[in-house]
Amino acid sequence: MPKGAEQATVYLVDDDATVRAALTFLLTSHGLPVCSFDSGPALLERLDTGPALRGCILLDVRMEPLSGLQVHDELVARGVHTPVIFLTGHGDIRMAVSALKKGAFDFVEKPFGDVALVDRVCDALAADAEQQQRRAEGDSRGEMLAGLTQREQDVMHRVAAGKLNKVIADEMNVSMRTVEVYRARVFAKLGVRSSAELATLLAKK
């Protein structure tokens, strides 16, 4: 776990103390760490003062002074990618569907089954873990690519495109031996063993 990060947690936001207590008990009884907030502004303050969120956000729709939808809009505006699950009443379904279009992970309609809710929370936690892994791999790839010289990058792109050493040598006006040296350096720096692996690495989002 990166320094300053915290373990995957369910960030529960609901202005009803009874609901918070019941959901906290349910989730912790399934081994899920919970951090609860009594309002949207309290969660947003946590974003301003603490490390990045890891896990998922369980967000009630009807709250004061900010609704769950307003809190979600603020999370989107801040570029927070932590999966959000809305807790909604029957009359909130249309609003929840709108939130899904803005990137919310899911919504669970009240009254909800305990098992169904825990299952969706676990799905959201898994999605966040996968997202964190992709981001870490992207950062690592960026660092490796930044370590290449311009000449190595020129060779890299041509090799990834499937061009033969002789063709690359002609295009770059260098000897085939020079291309072979650059190619070997690129493979070593990026940890790949073939042009196919190189192409796959560069194609990753």
| Domain range summary for the chain, segments of one domain joined by + | 9-139, 147-203
Checking if the pLDDT of 107 tops 60, the result is yes
User: What pLDDT is attached to residue 6?
Assistant: 57
Cα separation of 71 and 44, whole Å? 8
Which homologous superfamily is 9-139 in? Response regulator (3.40.50.2300)
Any idea how long the chain is?
A: 205
- Per the prediction, the chain carries an average pLDDT of 86
Checking if the pLDDT of 118 tops 50, the result is yes
Checking if the pLDDT of 72 tops 50, the result is yes
Q: What is the pLDDT of residues 2-31, one digit of tens each?
A: 333 457 899 999 999 999 999 999 999 999
Cα separation of 81 and 105, whole Å? 10
Cα separation of 78 and 75, whole Å? 5
Residue 17 · residue 48 · CB < 8 Å: no
> For 60-86, what is the mean pLDDT?
91
Give 85's strand partners: 58, 106
CATH of 147-203, one of 2.60.120.10, 3.40.630.10, 1.10.10.10, 3.40.50.620: 1.10.10.10
Cα separation of 84 and 72, whole Å? 8
User: What pLDDT is attached to residue 91?
Assistant: 65
